[in-house]
Structure 1
Amino acid sequence: MVKKAQSSRGGASKGAAKESSKKGKSSNNGAPGSKARAQPAEAIENHLVSADTQLELRTQQLLLDLFARTFSKELADSNLDATLQIIKGALYSRDFEAAFSTESHLASYACRWSPTRSLCYASIIEGLRSHLGDFNLGVPEELGDAAEGENSRCPSRPLRMLSIGGGAAELAAFSTLLMHKSMGSTEIVLVDSGPWASVVGRLYDTLTTCTARQISKYTKHPDDVDARPVVAADSMPLTFSQVDVLSIDKAQLAQLVGDRPLLITILFTLNELYTSGGIGKTTTFLLNLSSSVPIGTLLLVVDSPGSYSETGVGAQARKYPMQWLLHHTLSKSLEDIWERIETSESTWFRLNDTLTYPIPLENMRYQLHLYRLVRSPDEKHTPE
């Protein structure tokens, strides 16, 4: 289990300082205990997140209550505001070691900025369901029509999700897939350079040991009397690897990726890699990743929009947009082995006015790019 750390390699700040400085129209500046304000996310290009795929409010409130229960000690701490100001100041200065040098800073970060992120990510993941079906979870594809009857009882394969720079927000968002009866088990691998294991571990324990009723005093639904935990631990195995993704080789990447198609997420992390690790190292990482993943793998990149995600290069500090660097690497450098199937340059995620959380939360804005690996880098490519 993990979350952001001293170095941004693997995703340190997740843009927390940027997010807090860009409040939406419905942002709430009220006292602790007031409602978190905002509305459901607006539709993005190609309708990846639309009204019919928006995560239901009951689930959104459950996620907020999950954070409130897990980090109740931090939320009740009279020094929380002062700690958050220290973290924000360090993030503005890009001093990630100062921002995340203590466990109290890590937990404070998670209880303040991860809740909104988790709702945004969960809504995006909800919109990915049609694409996730391409992984042929359940009955193996080669059985075809003959898979019915006795063969239909063969065990399903878990959906594998690898999150580069992943932590509390990603874990909470991914867990919503298990809250649907149609989804089987989900294997989650979080990778980050920092020691966030204990913070995400606390969140995982709440998810896998508490019922919805124990977590959420606001949820009013007959299903909440169910004595089972919100997510069964055996249906959501979790692995955390504390590594710097810019320093590992192809073999190590291949071990993280596995041998079957999966969903890889780089959420509010790629721009940090470009900025702190440099374009050269980050490009090498993307190339190595591309040569390590099986055909059919999905790559989801979400980050701050516009000028917030630009990288300076050379003495003249010429600025390159993150999305241009990403697409140039995945399409031009690799001769179109990746197919970009969804994209959005700027989308608002707005919290619904009915949602509640112990401290104020803000809306957030993001850019999104979804790719599918359509052929191996080793295949010969003949231009059409």
Structure 2
Amino acid sequence: MLALGYVCRSCLHGALRTGGSRLRGSGRRFVSAAVRQIQRPDRKSSSSSLAQYNKHLGLLRRKPGVAGEDLLQQTLKECTSIKRAGLQPDLSTYESLIAIFCKVGSVREGMKTLEEMLQFSIEPSVSIFDTLLRAAASQDMMNEYNQLLLLLQTNCQSKITPAIYQHIIQVMCQHGDYERALNTLHAAIDQGIIPTLATFVQVIRASIDNMEHKEAYALLLKAEKLVDLSEYPKIYLECLRSAADDLSHEATQSCWKQTVTVYQIEPDEGTCMKVLHVAGQNGDVELANAVIDYYVTNGFDVGEPHFAPLLQAYAKSGQIKSAFELLAFMREKGVPPLKETAVPIYHQIRNDPSAIDGAFRILEELHRDGKDVDVTALNIIIHACAKAGDVQKAMEVYHGARDIGVIPNRDTYNSVLDACIAAKQPYEAKVIIDDMHSAGVSPDVVTYGKMVVVECTRSDYENAFNYLSEMKRRRMANASMMSKDSVEAQIGALSLHSGDAANGATTTKDELSKETALHSKRGKTKSSNGATRARPSLELVKERIKCLGKNPEQSILNVIKLACYSTLSSPSYETTLQSIKAAFYQRDYLSIFSNPSNLPVYTAAYIPGRALCYYHIFKDEPNLRRLLAGQTRIFLPGSGSGSELIGISAAMLWASSPDQQISLHMQDIGEWDGVLQDLEKAARSSWNLQDQITCTFEQGDILEPTDQRKSEIQQAKMITFMFVLNELFKDKSRAIRLIQDVIKDMARGSYLLVVDSAGSFSHLQIGGKQYMVYFLLDALKELETVVSYDAKWYRFPDDLTYPVDLQNMRYFLRLYRKM
């Protein structure tokens, strides 16, 4: 009888000391009645007497409204009666006692009772563990919960039911113990237990939350075999989003079919765009068409961003004719194709002269069949000829335009000029620009820039300067910048990559001095706020861009790999990356950037794509390249991860000048010092950057108005917000105040560069309507818009290698100058 005495005197009295809610009224009267019934002397046998006591204990544990101290007191009386009767408590007795302890919130006393059972070789039932586990979980007693799990697996592993597994896995998922939940699920299946639908849903969602997209799809396939997913078909939609995020073709294809075709669930537009992206990358025309059909059926607007992946799918699957037909269809439907829309066709034909010939034959075939041929199709073929350096083929395609019913446009002429530049054919270029004038097509600044470059392949640059004069006469934007950049930086690149610097691509001081006669004073000038402004030096550009090698983009990735080597090779890299992805999924940005151990992993995984994009922005945009040629102080909020540092450092090489001195002042909320130092060191050593660049970093919140922030804004020649402004506008009032302070404190003539997502992430909610974030800045009268792109793609070359997948970027760009 020691066991029951232990229960009565130790556990119950210990529980009484824990307190609880007081009972009144009917609950107390019920317990008193139960006690009187137990004390009746007409017991026929010990077994029947114990059964009677157990019955009343069971009534106590299940009676609604009975809890707290009174319940424990009445339970103690029952136990005392059992002891006095000389009865041995059985499993049912213990089940009731433990349930009562859990009912009053005394999990530890319940566990003591369980330990006593094991001590006296009374095998606990699965329901006892279930009761204790649920009580421990409800009180967030995870140490006790884990102890109970261990006891359960030791004593009742084979008796665990699917419902108990569901609860166990649910608790694990709720507490972020994903790996354990996944292992527990697999262990249950291995034992022949069929988990519930809810269990599968929990672990699939946890997999998605932890960015384990492939695991989520594998679990979905397993669930299809074991449970009826028709009871919760929306899990297919959740897996569709996950698969599209992971760019998993098979999973995306399968989940789209189940979501839309089988269960007729309507995915949101963002999910559809991601599915289109997967279809385009994998050449899946059927899937891409299915998504377009879904858009049309549901009344969504279909524009260039939707047709572009379909065209990519046609091109990747080798259906060039269908891709050309799609370009004509787009124009017919009022969706003019962009030059970038047809780029996937270029990628398919660029390295094969027979493929280029075949592409033009397709255009001829379409014309013979009475179908429209879009000028964009012609232009992309000429572009492929130009990149191949085949000026003869480019001219043949150009001259064949009218034979297939195509009227050349400005892009057509500019593409042919590219071929002339590649082949160093200034005479052919002159024919083209004369044709352009004859056709009534006005050259733009790009056209004249190309003419300047091709004319510089002559030994005499006189014609090049004539075109510069024409640009100025027509008051074309950027003409003064083109005078130096085209004759130096662009030609320097031409001579370097052609390997023929002696063939008309070397500029001497005497030859460049002709520009002085044509264009007033050259060299150093003063900007409107007095800052020194210089232009690139041909000789320095030619020398310094050698550091980038023949593949500048790969050189940039190599620098990042060098800086992040220890991070990429760390055993904890993948684990940390998955936790970062999970935080992104939950939009918990603060937890990512406030944890110093996350920052090197974030940089290694996320900056390569942006660094490549920023490199091209600063290298290819003349106004920015001009700023990089002089003594320019740049303030870069939100730049701690290093994308701006790497992109600008590489682009600087294309703007090299004797006066080049770039001062980067970076600020971010995280502790990025070490990361930036490693990146700066790698960039300096790889690209031979010495005194041309200085870098400083300050940790702080840019939304916080401080004297330091004001000073940085006032001193900066340029302020950048690159993929950070949208995040700042989550605190709309403080972000607007920041913009006001920036505009107020900026020096006259200084620049504001804003680059961010061109998608819905850049929407601001104002007065019940949504606007792109740049609308706010465009409306400010203090700012002059210098460069404006509402949507532009950066697509990385196919031949790049990096340990992490690279993503193409679609962005908007605004470069403002303070009036």
Classify the TM-score, shorter chain. 0.5 to 0.7
Distance in 1, Cα, partners of 2:445 & 2:614: 15
Cross-structure match for 1:195: 671
Q: Deviations over 1:118-163 (max 9, x none)?
A: 01011001123335537993xxxxxxxxxxxxxxxxxxxx211111
Which blocks of at least 5 consecutive residues in structure 2 are unaligned? 1-241, 248-273, 283-338, 342-443, 451-485, 494-544
Change beyond 3 A, Cα 1:368–1:242: same
Q: Is 2:533 the partner of 1:80? A: no
Cross-structure match for 1:171: 645
- Give matches, 1:1-384, under 5 Å: 25-26=280-281, 42=340, 58-131=551-624, 133=626, 137=630, 158-167=631-640, 168-180=642-654, 182-183=656-657, 184-208=660-684, 210-211=685-686, 230-232=688-690, 234-249=691-706, 251-259=707-715, 262-275=717-730, 277-278=731-732, 280-312=733-765, 318-328=769-779, 331=780, 336-374=781-819
Distance in 2, Cα, partners of 1:311 & 1:122: 28
Q: Displacement, 1:111?
A: 0.7
SS of 2:587's partner is coil
Q: Displacement, 1:372?
A: 0.9
1:126 is matched by which residue type in structure 2?
K
SS of 1:291's partner is helix
Distance in 2, Cα, partners of 1:19 & 1:169: 22
1:231 is matched by which residue type in structure 2?
L
Which blocks of at least 5 consecutive residues in structure 1 are unaligned? 1-16, 28-40, 138-157, 213-229, 375-384
Q: Deviations over 1:85-134 (max 9, x none)?
A: 22122123221232234333111110111011001011001123335537
The answer (yes or no) to whether the contact 2:609–2:807 under 8 Å persists in 1 is yes
Q: Between 357-366 and 77-86, report the one with greater CA deviation.
A: 77-86
Change beyond 3 A, Cα 1:320–1:347: same
Q: May I ask how many residue pairs the two structures share in their alignment?
A: 291
SS of 1:162's partner is strand
Distance in 1, Cα, partners of 2:620 & 2:714: 24
Change beyond 3 A, Cα 1:19–1:119: farther
The answer (yes or no) to whether the contact 1:20–1:362 under 8 Å persists in 2 is no
Q: Displacement, 1:67?
A: 0.8
Q: Between 281-290 and 178-187, report the one with greater CA deviation.
A: 178-187
The answer (yes or no) to whether the contact 1:253–1:289 under 8 Å persists in 2 is no
Q: Deviations over 1:144-192 (max 9, x none)?
A: xxxxxxxxxxxxxx21111111131010011124324633121111111
- TM-score when scaled to structure 1? 0.67
Distance in 2, Cα, partners of 1:348 & 1:75: 28
The answer (yes or no) to whether the contact 2:762–2:773 under 8 Å persists in 1 is yes
**Greater Cα radius of gyration, structure 1 or 2:** 2
Q: Displacement, 1:305?
A: 1.4
Change beyond 3 A, Cα 1:282–1:357: same
Distance in 2, Cα, partners of 1:343 & 1:110: 28
Greater helix fraction, Structure 1 or Structure 2? 2
Change beyond 3 A, Cα 1:355–1:263: same
Cross-structure match for 2:263: none
Q: Between 113-122 and 280-289, report the one with greater CA deviation.
A: 280-289
Distance in 1, Cα, partners of 2:815 & 2:246: 25
The answer (yes or no) to whether the contact 1:306–1:345 under 8 Å persists in 2 is no
SS of 2:567's partner is helix
1:182 is matched by which residue type in structure 2?
S
Q: Displacement, 1:312?
A: 3.8
Distance in 2, Cα, partners of 1:185 & 1:264: 16
Distance in 2, Cα, partners of 1:206 & 1:134: 23
Distance in 1, Cα, partners of 2:724 & 2:801: 28
The answer (yes or no) to whether the contact 1:193–1:242 under 8 Å persists in 2 is yes
Q: How many percent of aligned residue pairs carry the same amino acid?
A: 28
1:271 is matched by which residue type in structure 2?
N
The answer (yes or no) to whether the contact 1:135–1:262 under 8 Å persists in 2 is no
Q: Displacement, 1:264?
A: 1.3
The answer (yes or no) to whether the contact 1:310–1:321 under 8 Å persists in 2 is yes
The answer (yes or no) to whether the contact 1:135–1:296 under 8 Å persists in 2 is no
- TM-score when scaled to structure 2? 0.33
Greater strand fraction, Structure 1 or Structure 2? 1
Change beyond 3 A, Cα 1:372–1:19: farther
The answer (yes or no) to whether the contact 1:74–1:111 under 8 Å persists in 2 is yes
